[in-house]
Structure 1
């Protein structure tokens, strides 16, 4: 069984193949690899892009999509995760899960005999970052030694980008408040890969000579309501920040964006912005991810 949980679980070769297959699928389409397969999507978190893009994927690949929202089902709420997973294992051929807790995916995986895709957890968002990487390669053609700079909070998208950058030899830097930290497990993993991560509260240093500048909402879904955004304000992506980057710099944001907060209208609506390319590429990237998961199964 091949599930898709985190980018760091992939080899560099597999990651590059998923990206290249995404671009090929975008140009040439993909065979009906989900024909006669029932795919269950479980959304413990609300979704627009993830849900619709996966529904389009499943339909285009010949599958039948089934959806459970948070008001209908949550793992561990009415019965044990073990019991519900064993039942679902008898019903469906594939699961796509968007959950708060990353540990839930691990527990489900141990009792489900078919592929599972991480459609977002509080720890990581690998599907989004595959789409980002596809968009990046379309614009630049390569990854090695390119500088990608993240502005703002360290969240699940940042985590997946850190993993991808390490595998693809991208110079990944983070501009954030000094109190933002990286988990010990991530630091240990980076050391094992012989990689390092640049984190600084100096906006100018991080933005300088960047090929790509990206950001995300300062308060992610599930964060504490009293979390302050004030200390993130110096890390807004605006025209001054973008002017420090390379002339052909691109701006990325996975959306939804809070315009006037983490990014200005001037930047997100500029020719530098590729945010809608990123959104479109979710479909092609996720088809490639499904193909990767199906490679040894069907």
Structure 2
């Protein structure tokens, strides 16, 4: 059994080096271009017949379907679990759940209410853990967004992106991505909904090209892409 320290989790973009993140995006471009059935030569080594456990503390449509279909296209299998399927609400600890799942599964994806739950699961897991969303961040969503950007516009490095909305978990991952992928990010949030200070501090330390403001019109002026949480139709 692998030692926990040797496990490569996917918990947050700020914890993964830029070269690895770029390799993931490049591999995704290649796999998607190959069609819905990813050829064996493009699949990660050893993934055939692996089992990915998908845990959802929060409801999901796109995250659930995308992870399930992706694992099948890569030749693996999935098991879906929600809060009613687990013993967490009846006295079983997160650490115990991590150890049990590690004996059966090859990887675990968690969509959690609390980021602390994700960290506790990863700390006690001997298989990779993937962040499918927490209250702190949403790294897989931003990786998918960057893939879509590059499919339609080209390499994101050096481009300008605007985030308009709350300084929430998705905004935090966009801020991480700006540093890792080398693009300019303008974050426009109401004064009372600014990004969390720890994320802002990290951006400063990394000297990322991120500007935080309250003026949405200024933020979106001249950018290549505008991102927000929810689009509202006024028609």
**Number of the residue aligned with 2:14:** 8
Aligned partner (choices 134, 138, 143) of residue 121 of structure 1: 134
Q: Does 1:26 align with 2:32?
A: yes
For the residues of structure 1 that align with 2:91 and 2:30, how far apart are their CA atoms? 43
- The 8 Å contact of residues 75 and 104 in structure 1, kept in 2 or not, is answered as no
Aligned partner (choices 120, 132, 141) of residue 145 of structure 2: 132
**Number of the residue aligned with 1:69:** 82
For the residues of structure 2 that align with 1:74 and 1:143, how far apart are their CA atoms? 43
Residues 1:201 and 1:185: Cα distance change in structure 2 (over 3 Å):
closer
Residues 1:176 and 1:123: Cα distance change in structure 2 (over 3 Å):
same
**Number of the residue aligned with 2:170:** 157
Aligned residue for 2:28, secondary structure, equals helix
CA displacement at 1:9 relative to structure 2: 1.2
Deviations 1:252-297 (A, max 9, x none): xxxxx5x33xxx56xxxxxxxxxxxxxxxxxxxxxxxxxxxxxxxx
The TM-score, its normalising length taken from structure 2, stands at 0.88
Aligned residue for 2:32, secondary structure, equals helix
For the residues of structure 1 that align with 2:197 and 2:213, how far apart are their CA atoms? 18
- The 8 Å contact of residues 168 and 195 in structure 2, kept in 1 or not, is answered as no
For the residues of structure 1 that align with 2:87 and 2:198, how far apart are their CA atoms? 28
Residues 1:196 and 1:27: Cα distance change in structure 2 (over 3 Å):
closer
The TM-score, its normalising length taken from structure 1, stands at 0.70
Q: Which runs of structure 2 are paired with 1:39-188 in the superposition (5 Å)? A: 39-73=52-86, 75=88, 77-188=90-201
Residues 1:214 and 1:49: Cα distance change in structure 2 (over 3 Å):
same
Q: Identify which of structures 1 and 2 has the higher relative contact order when contacts are C-alpha pairs closer than 8 Å and 6+ apart.
A: 1
Q: How many residues align?
A: 222
Aligned partner (choices 214, 218, 223) of residue 227 of structure 2: 214
Residues 1:46 and 1:36: Cα distance change in structure 2 (over 3 Å):
same
Residues 1:77 and 1:30: Cα distance change in structure 2 (over 3 Å):
farther
CA displacement at 1:77 relative to structure 2: 4.5
> In terms of mean alpha carbon deviation, does 32-41 or 161-170 score higher?
32-41
CA RMSD of aligned residues (A): 1.7
Query: Where in structure 2 are there 5+ consecutive unaligned residues?
Result: 1-6
Aligned residue for 2:85, secondary structure, equals coil
For the residues of structure 2 that align with 1:190 and 1:133, how far apart are their CA atoms? 19
CA displacement at 1:5 relative to structure 2: 0.6
For the residues of structure 1 that align with 2:165 and 2:194, how far apart are their CA atoms? 12
